[in-house]
């Protein structure tokens, strides 16, 4: 020791160096250098990875992937982008609704790219795996795979981890900078290093981003990846697969991702119906060849009509077709009987549900919703279609529900994976379910459980809203929509005490007058139908039923329409002896 300076060479193989009040105590600690330090650092890295996130991990044994001869156009598009050496975009965002087959596509791409040594790494998020439903292990898992696919950065990564053993407790941005950006940029600082990197795999797949724990976490991961892409001298390329959740859509619609991303929407342009039919034909072909009951299957089975029905029910989403195939192929049951259960033509004597997998997905989505009551109000409109044709627009539904401008955007913000939500400013697009099977789910209490929608109660809610709009017309909502919605709903509603009370304030003269002046369909035919429905419906606070209560206004309306009114002619209503089920008007 010389003054305040210490000659550290004297401790070069010392172990457990401690200082007590200026005195050194040395106890058996090795100072790792060279290969030892690199190995020690890499060991630290391996302790903090989610091995189940690899595309070929044992944890993900038999993962979903594309059936042969399906999704060929989508796969070709992705492979073309991966192999395009002149591309300026660092990200491809593969998105589509729940059950569209995104993970199957990502898995297939991973396997194809692995075969030709194009895949540098992958991370398959999963809401059901503790180390894969958080962002905590994301960067460390990607880095571990990069040290295998780009072995030239392995020493730098190992030494960085050895020099800062707690690095993986820092932010994802700090981890990415220290373990990805710096090692790769250092390697690329020479011409030889750049050539090495250009010859190594640099394509990474991130699947199921929406299954990471929160919207904030998902946005954070995207922010970190965007930072990596901008800072690398020789870039990495990322396929991000997710549902089109609102916060993810917003991230890709804004810089820097907007200018760095190629979007790939799993919509009808990729002919999902044809692929789904091909998949079903193959699966049913396997059943006909391999099932223990194959000798007893009818011919033909399934029929062309059966296949068409299944394709239509799938609504372009592979999860429905896959769920049906798994259910019908059960070795312990008759395939034709199982298919009849799927179509609802026979009851299911066993406890297993044909749609257990699908229902679990729907229920998970609804459980993430903040305000399920308001969401249910919106779902009522999508389920019942009570509004006239071509008016099922998001803005119109919001107005009908008396929401503030833009409020409905917030309410459906968590439902982009099951509802086709138009982008902001698109006032002409209608809200609709992505899946035809969603309606079946919502009206079956055994399937939807606490999310079950009872249709007569839903019609009652819509009718109460309609009466409220009739009492206080809005300049924003077309009166034609209101009066036609009343006509479409009243006979299907449950005449609760609340609804009956509201109907006594209903101006039947104004309604009929509006229907005739607006030219809505069979205006004269509705008169006896509505009057027949009003007959016998009475609130306990009123002496007359709704028909008798409204007779004066009914006659006033008829006198106004039947001009000139013959002197001495009276009107009567025969609702019991009529040949029609709704009654007839008689003039005498």
Mean pLDDT confidence for 420-445: 81
**Whole-angstrom distance, CA of residue 145 vs CA of residue 179:** 12
Give me the pLDDT at residue 520, please: 54
**How far is C-alpha 488 from the geometric centre of its chain's CA atoms?**
30
Rounded to two decimals, what is the model's pTM?
0.71
Confidence of residue 16 (pLDDT cuts 50, 70, 90): very low
Confidence of residue 196 (pLDDT cuts 50, 70, 90): very high
**Whole-angstrom distance, CA of residue 506 vs CA of residue 107:** 59
574 has which bridge partners? 584
Confidence of residue 419 (pLDDT cuts 50, 70, 90): confident
CB atoms < 10 A from the CB of 462, how many? 23
For the ranges 18-32, 99-113, 409-423, the one whose mean pLDDT is highest: 99-113
Residue with the larger pLDDT of the pair 134 and 428: 134
Residue pLDDT, tens place only, 74-94 = 999 999 999 999 999 999 999
Give me the pLDDT at residue 267, please: 80
Whether residue 24 is predicted with pLDDT greater than 70 in this model: the reply is no
Whether residue 72 is predicted with pLDDT greater than 80 in this model: the reply is yes
Whose structure tokens read 């399920």?
372
Which positions ≥6 away from 418 have C-beta within 8 Å? 97, 98, 362, 365, 433, 434, 435, 438
Whether residue 26 is predicted with pLDDT greater than 90 in this model: the reply is no
**Whole-angstrom distance, CA of residue 491 vs CA of residue 456:** 9
CATH no., domain 35-269: 3.40.50.300
3-state secondary structure 215-270: HHHHHHHHHHHHHHHHHCCCCCEEEEEECCCHHHHHHHCCCCHHHHEEEEECCHHH
Whether residue 193 is predicted with pLDDT greater than 60 in this model: the reply is yes
Residue pLDDT, tens place only, 148-158 = 999 999 999 99
In the chain, what percentage of residues exceed pLDDT 90? 60
Give me the pLDDT at residue 337, please: 92
CB atoms < 10 A from the CB of 289, how many? 8
Whether residue 498 is predicted with pLDDT greater than 70 in this model: the reply is yes
Confidence of residue 561 (pLDDT cuts 50, 70, 90): confident
Whether residue 516 is predicted with pLDDT greater than 50 in this model: the reply is yes
Whose structure tokens read 């009914």?
554
Confidence of residue 15 (pLDDT cuts 50, 70, 90): very low
3-state secondary structure of 471: helix
- Locate the DSSP E strands across 366-469: 419-420, 432-433
Average pLDDT, the chain: 86
**Whole-angstrom distance, CA of residue 487 vs CA of residue 284:** 45
Residue pLDDT, tens place only, 503-512 = 999 999 999 8
Mean pLDDT confidence for 191-209: 97
**Whole-angstrom distance, CA of residue 426 vs CA of residue 430:** 9
Burial of 529 (0-12, 13-18, 19+ CB in 10 A): middle
- Among 208, 197, 166, 153, smallest CA distance to 38 is for 153
3-state secondary structure of 410: helix
**Whole-angstrom distance, CA of residue 584 vs CA of residue 15:** 104
Give me the pLDDT at residue 62, please: 85
- Which residue spans of the chain are classified as CATH 3.40.50.300? 35-269
Task: Flag the least confident range among 150-154, 339-343, 346-350.
Answer: 346-350
Give me the pLDDT at residue 210, please: 93
Give me the pLDDT at residue 563, please: 61
Give me the pLDDT at residue 99, please: 83
Whether residue 242 is predicted with pLDDT greater than 70 in this model: the reply is yes
Mean pLDDT confidence for 322-342: 90
Give me the pLDDT at residue 5, please: 41
- Among 394, 392, 396, 401, smallest CA distance to 373 is for 401
Mean pLDDT confidence for 325-346: 88
Is the CA virtual torsion 546, 547, 551, 554 positive or negative? positive
């Amino acid at each position: 020791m010389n003054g305040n300076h210490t000659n550290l060479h004297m401790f070069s193989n010392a172990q457990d160096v401690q200082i007590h009040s200026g005195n050194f105590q040395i106890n058996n600690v090795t100072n790792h250098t060279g290969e030892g330090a690199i190995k020690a650092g890499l060991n630290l890295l391996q302790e903090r990875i989610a091995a189940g996130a690899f595309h070929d991990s044992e944890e993900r044994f038999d993962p979903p992937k594309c059936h042969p001869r399906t999704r060929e156009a989508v796969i070709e598009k992705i492979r073309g982008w991966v192999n395009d050496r002149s591309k300026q975009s660092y990200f491809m965002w593969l998105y589509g609704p729940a059950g569209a087959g995104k993970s199957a596509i990502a898995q297939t791409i991973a396997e194809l790219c692995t075969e030709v040594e194009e895949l540098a790494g992958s991370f398959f998020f999963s809401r059901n795996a503790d180390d894969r439903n958080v962002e905590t292990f994301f960067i460390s898992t990607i880095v571990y795979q990069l040290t295998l696919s780009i072995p030239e950065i392995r020493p730098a990564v190992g030494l960085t981890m050895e020099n800062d053993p707690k690095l993986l407790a820092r932010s994802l941005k700090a981890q990415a900078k220290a373990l990805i950006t710096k090692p790769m940029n250092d390697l690329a600082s020479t011409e030889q290093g750049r050539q090495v990197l250009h010859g190594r795999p640099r394509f990474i797949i991130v699947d199921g981003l929406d299954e990471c724990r929160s919207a904030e976490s998902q946005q954070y991961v995207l922010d970190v990846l965007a930072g990596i892409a901008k800072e690398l001298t020789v870039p990495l390329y990322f396929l991000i697969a997710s549902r089109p959740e609102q916060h993810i859509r917003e991230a890709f619609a804004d810089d820097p991702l907007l200018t760095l991303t190629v979007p790939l929407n799993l919509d009808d342009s990729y002919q999902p119906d044809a692929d789904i039919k091909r998949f079903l034909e193959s699966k049913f072909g396997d059943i006909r060849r391999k099932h223990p009951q194959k000798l007893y299957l009818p011919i033909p089975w399934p029929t062309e009509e059966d296949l068409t029905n299944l394709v239509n029910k799938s609504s372009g989403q592979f999860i429905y077709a896959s769920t049906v195939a798994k259910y019908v192929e059960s070795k312990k049951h008759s395939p034709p009987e199982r298919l009849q259960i799927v179509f609802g033509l026979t009851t299911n004597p066993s406890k297993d549900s044909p749609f257990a997998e699908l229902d679990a997905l729907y229920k998970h989505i609804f459980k993430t919703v903040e305000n399920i009551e308001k969401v249910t109000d919106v779902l009522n409109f999508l389920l019942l279609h009570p509004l006239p044709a071509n008016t099922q627009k998001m803005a119109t539904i919001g107005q009908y529900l008396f929401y503030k401008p833009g409020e409905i955007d917030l309410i459906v913000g968590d439902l982009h994976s099951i509802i086709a939500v138009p982008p902001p400013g698109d006032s002409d697009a209608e809200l609709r379910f992505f899946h035809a099977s969603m309606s079946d789910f919502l009206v079956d209490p055994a399937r939807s459980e606490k999310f079950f929608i009872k249709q007569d109660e839903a019609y009652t809610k819509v009718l109460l809203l309609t009466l409220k709009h009739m009492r206080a017309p809005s300049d924003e909502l077309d009166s034609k929509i209101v009066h036609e919605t009343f006509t479409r709903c009243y006979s299907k509603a449950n005449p609760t005490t609340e609804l009956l009370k509201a109907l006594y304030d209903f101006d039947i003269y104004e309604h009929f007058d509006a229907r005739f002046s607006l030219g809505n369909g069979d205006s004269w035919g509705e008169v006896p139908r509505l009057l027949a429905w009003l007959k016998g419906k009475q609130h306990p606070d009123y002496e007359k039923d709704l028909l008798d209560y409204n007779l004066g206004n009914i006659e006033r309306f008829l006198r106004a329409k039947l001009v000139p009114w013959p002197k001495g002619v009276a009107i009567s209503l025969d609702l019991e002896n009529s040949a029609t089920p709704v009654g007839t008007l008689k003039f005498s």
